[in-house]
Structure 1
Amino acid sequence: MVVQHNMQAMNANRMLNITTGAQSKSTEKLSSGYRINRAADDAAGLTISEKMRKQIRGLDQASTNAQDGVSSVQTAEGALTEVHSMLQRMNELAVQAANGTNSKESDRQAIQDEIDQLTTEIDRVAETTKFNEIYLLKGDSNGGTKNVFMKGHDAGLKGTLTDSAKTATFVMDELKAGDKVTIAGKEYSIGSKADDIKGTIVAPAQNASTTVTIDGSSYEIKDTNGNVAIYKDGSTTALTKVDVTGTGTGNATLDDLKTLVKEGSVVEADGKKYTAMTDGNNDNIDDDDSSVITKAVAEKKIQAELLAANSIGTIEGKAEVKDAATANGKTTYEIKKGYATVADTLSFNLHVGADADMTNKITVDIDTMNSANLGIKGLNVTDATGTAATYAVDAISDAIAKVSSQRSALGAVQNRLEHTIDNLDNIVENTTTAESRIRDTDMAEEMVEYSKNNILAQAGQSMLAQANQSTQGVLSLLQ
């Protein structure tokens, strides 16, 4: 029996310390709710858990970023809704101004006043619409600019317009004497000088005939084996020179017939009706009927109307229309389109991922939505005829289409962001579930462990007390 080394007590104390340590860890896990409170609890699990936490918190913020993006897009799109409304009203006003019942300039001036107010408001909306101090509709704030070329227009003329980035081409059938053409809402007849009309009176093919009407009288020109004879109003007797010119002998010739064509004569030949213009002042416009003009005058008028139609909204760069070029029965007008200089497109990225991958960025582009970019700056409908208002209708239509395109792009981005948010939230939920399995305490299981350790601790304390009492028997030997 020894007293220096109580091995039973030492053993009981060692086991009690182990139990107390385990009990302490169980208490920590139960009180914190985490299975891993320090790296020593599960080194590998801690690494995986922290990596998941990084992803979860990053995705949570990415979802918030996307929601902020939706809010900014909705702000811009809401402002453009009002711009659309104002453009629709401007379209109504332009259609009203184009009506011929507005006989006084004051009528169209009242319309112009409202158009001016609406244009100013569109510019104000573009200048002031912002989200979190970012101006959404006034373009890039870094000072960059771009030239916006206006869309090409055909001024309502009959032909084909081909539009490209900086130029446009308008092609129409070549105008010929006797043709009718509508320019700026007015119908013109292509007249000719008497000498030009004489050139349309030609001999028929051999052993054939043709009919020409001059000032209401019908003349049949008949060829018989190369000999030409002329018959008037169904007569079977050929005309003589005397019948046509008043002098000479023999049958009348084509040259004799052509002498009947004078200023003011109406001639039908080759299936067309020609009017010999009376043009005493030599301005290529009929003295008696201003709607009868030469081909050259008609082409100049067409050129002027194309210029007017393509000049709307061209603030910095003016439109130009080259002189008509005719070839192969077609007349072509080359249009150099005008432009307005506006701020560059506003572009910002929404970061919608937890990683630094550039594919996690969604770009939002918003053009400047002021009157200059929309092509309606300086819009004027106060001319006397309403033609300017007619051309303004086309310009406003282009502006409406441009706003529609921008709104459509914003709507597409919003829909994309909403899907992005749903996906991010789904990933966060599932990743959090996986991280919970690694990091969180299973409370039921840990309570069983804690209860076991609690019982062992109590038993250990009891055994330690018993072990300490075991050496008390030595005292009996001293009595």
Structure 2
Amino acid sequence: MSFSIQTNVSSMVAQENLRVNNLFQARTIQRLTSGYRINSAGDDAAGLAVANKFRSDVAELSQGVRNANDAVSQLQIMDGGLSNISQLLDRARTLATQSASDSFTGDRSALDGEFQNVLTEINRQAQSIGMTAGGDFAKSLGIFIGGGRTDSSSTTKNVNGTVTVNLSSSLADSTSLGLSSNGVQGVVVTAGSANLSSAITAAGTDAIFRFRGAGFNTTVNFATNFDATHIKNETDLVNAVNSAISTAAQSDANFAAANIRASVDSASGKLTFTSAGAFSVSDAGAGTGAAEVLLGDTAPHNAALASVALAAAAVTTNKDVLTISYRDSSGTLQQHSLDLTTVNAGSANAIRDAINGDTTFTGYGIFAVNNAGTITIMKKDGGAFEVATNLTGAGAAGGFTDGVYGSSSTPLGNSAAVDITTSAKALSTITALQTAVTNLSRIQATVGRAENQLSYATNLAQSQISNFSAAQSQIRDADVAAEAANLTKAQVLQQASMAAMAQANSAPQAVLALLRG
């Protein structure tokens, strides 16, 4: 073994070990003071990437829970408002029952005055909680909570992170509940000019009705499946049709929610369908031949309906313009024209598509359907509108009928309300109120179901927050007990390294003993 003064290898080794021990001690102190095992990407790049995903998920879910809580709070406000409306319906029914009795000798107009005030208050409260046509919450609401995640090769996508609450059919104003036009919300579907009961009996075959719901976007086709030859009176007819509707509703929840019921007008003998919301119906049975019309209107006759029997030459020149006037949600009168000169002449589907493709019309709920070559223009909310045309080649039997639709004698956009000014009207109103209570119960059930749905979603989100946080902690957080032991170890190693380096630095002095003589 040689001795060297120029290079002290032992000292160099001691210095390197002291540096390493100092770094170890510094990292241990950083972990203890921060609480994290990973303080930089260099500590554990792969672990940091995974932990960051979990941390981001927790942040998203935490806000999602707040979103859900806000939605539940709003639903609770709506729930409370619906409870108040339920009490108002109770008061309205009490007044109607009092007026319906022939033994009542007081002033029915006074009863009707309070009754109308009750309807006004129902409308005000429904608008206050946003549950009227065009209201803030009378639509399908998407509450984003998050937590739905699936990993692909390079990205992370949110899947099923939104809870959908559909309140588009949950309108709580008096008209939507069925308290207008003495409970008959819809135009009549009639077999030509004849009594429908007689028409079906004469046909000697099943009647087939086709319903389309604007609120539930579901088409239900079914046959009534009753022997028309055994329909002896209007009561038998209504019972048979309603039985068929109930049978069809068992296999279609959306159709069932529409709560469509049939009745026969005692004066005209015509079959009428009622519902809480707007929908369309056509009959395809042999011998009936009624055209498709929109129900949900507030007038008693063919309001909200304008028809044109299209001929091949009905749309031919640059003067072919369809103009419709209507009132918007603020009550302002609007007018919009559609140029039909570019539409395929004589094509009912082309006319229908042109009208339905116009965003201005569809934005205000105006649309068209084609029923065997006849175009029917309708307004979803049953409100009034006016049709004006300048169609060449459209004679008395072949053009749009100009005029106001959706209202009989009231101004554009208004509707007739129920009243209890006579005993007969009060009895009819009681029937309407029974329907209104049923409709309101359905709306309350929808709101309650939404509250529960959000509660379930919140529970899942809270569970995910806990589990994601635990996973992140497992990866990123420091083990304090282990790091405390490491700190003691680092301190001992540092002291030993400094003592050993002192010995290594003094080792070359031993060579001087060889130089002493």
**TM-score normalised according to structure 2 size:** 0.49
Distance 1:302 1:402, change over 3 A: closer
- C-alpha contact 1:49 1:439 (8 A) present in aligned 2: yes
Matched, 1:112 2:112: yes
Unpaired segments ≥5 residues, structure 2: 142-167, 179-183, 189-196, 201-206, 213-223, 235-263, 280-286, 288-292, 299-303, 305-326, 330-379, 382-405, 407-413
Partner of 2:321: none
Partner of 1:124: 124
Shift of 1:3: 2.4
Partner of 1:75: 77
Q: What one-letter code is carried by the residue in structure 1 that aligns with 2:437?
A: I
Partner of 1:339: 297
Among 458, 464, 476, the alignment partner of 1:439 is 476
1:356-400 alpha-carbon deviations (Å, 9 max, x no partner): xxxxxxxxxxx99xxx9xx996221113xx001100011111111
Unpaired segments ≥5 residues, structure 1: 176-299, 318-326, 328-334, 345-366
Task: Name the SS of the counterpart of 1:102 in structure 2.
Answer: coil
Q: What one-letter code is carried by the residue in structure 1 that aligns with 2:297?
A: Y
Distance 1:302 1:414, change over 3 A: closer
Distance 1:460 1:137, change over 3 A: closer
Partner of 2:459: 422
Distance 1:310 1:60, change over 3 A: closer
Distance 1:48 1:310, change over 3 A: closer
Matched, 1:95 2:97: yes
Distance 1:343 1:93, change over 3 A: farther
Distance 1:467 1:435, change over 3 A: same
- C-alpha contact 2:22 2:494 (8 A) present in aligned 1: yes
- C-alpha contact 1:381 1:388 (8 A) present in aligned 2: yes
Shift of 1:312: 12
Distance 1:2 1:311, change over 3 A: closer
Q: What one-letter code is carried by the residue in structure 1 that aligns with 2:421?
A: T
Q: What one-letter code is carried by the residue in structure 1 that aligns with 2:78?
A: A
Shift of 1:54: 2.0
User: Aligned runs of 1:61-460 on 2, under 5 Å?
Assistant: 61-103=63-105, 107-129=107-129, 135-136=135-136, 150=184, 173=232, 302-303=266-267, 339-340=297-298, 378-383=417-422, 386-460=423-497
1:428-474 alpha-carbon deviations (Å, 9 max, x no partner): 21222122111111111111112111100111111112222223345
Q: What one-letter code is carried by the residue in structure 1 that aligns with 2:119?
A: T
- C-alpha contact 1:138 1:343 (8 A) present in aligned 2: no
Q: Distance in 2 between matches of 1:338 and 1:50?
A: 54
Partner of 2:62: 60
Pick the structure with greater CA Rg.
1
Q: Distance in 1 between matches of 2:452 and 2:474?
A: 34
Distance 1:302 1:126, change over 3 A: closer
| Greater Cα shift, 34-43 or 469-478 | 469-478
Shift of 1:94: 0.6
- C-alpha contact 2:58 2:469 (8 A) present in aligned 1: yes
Distance 1:69 1:86, change over 3 A: same
Shift of 1:130: 5.5
Q: Distance in 2 between matches of 1:312 and 1:428?
A: 44
Matched, 1:461 2:461: no
Q: What one-letter code is carried by the residue in structure 2 that aligns with 1:84?
A: S
- C-alpha contact 2:187 2:294 (8 A) present in aligned 1: no
- C-alpha contact 2:186 2:296 (8 A) present in aligned 1: no
- C-alpha contact 2:97 2:430 (8 A) present in aligned 1: yes
Distance 1:138 1:414, change over 3 A: closer
Task: Report the identity percentage.
Answer: 27
Among 23, 33, 45, the alignment partner of 1:43 is 45
Distance 1:390 1:139, change over 3 A: farther
Distance 1:378 1:140, change over 3 A: farther
Q: Distance in 2 between matches of 1:445 and 1:82?
A: 62
RMSD after superposition = 4.9
Q: What one-letter code is carried by the residue in structure 1 that aligns with 2:92?
A: M
Q: What one-letter code is carried by the residue in structure 2 that aligns with 1:54?
A: S
Partner of 1:324: none
Q: What one-letter code is carried by the residue in structure 1 that aligns with 2:469?
A: T
User: Aligned runs of 1:467-478 on 2, under 5 Å?
Assistant: 467-474=504-511, 477=515
1:110-148 alpha-carbon deviations (Å, 9 max, x no partner): 1111111111111111222269xx95466699xx99997
Q: What one-letter code is carried by the residue in structure 1 that aligns with 2:420?
A: V
* Larger RCO (CA within 8 A; separation ≥ 6): 1
Distance 1:22 1:312, change over 3 A: closer
Tell me the number of residue pairs that the alignment of Structure 1 and Structure 2 aligns: 298
Q: Distance in 1 between matches of 2:429 and 2:210?
A: 21
Q: Distance in 2 between matches of 1:421 and 1:68?
A: 11
1:161-212 alpha-carbon deviations (Å, 9 max, x no partner): 999859xx9997469xxxxxxxxxxxxxxxxxxxxxxxxxxxxxxxxxxxxx
Partner of 1:25: 27
Q: Distance in 2 between matches of 1:313 and 1:130?
A: 17
Q: Distance in 2 between matches of 1:301 and 1:39?
A: 79
Distance 1:387 1:313, change over 3 A: farther
- C-alpha contact 1:313 1:377 (8 A) present in aligned 2: no
Shift of 1:152: 8.0
- C-alpha contact 1:6 1:468 (8 A) present in aligned 2: yes
Task: Name the SS of the counterpart of 1:39 in structure 2.
Answer: coil
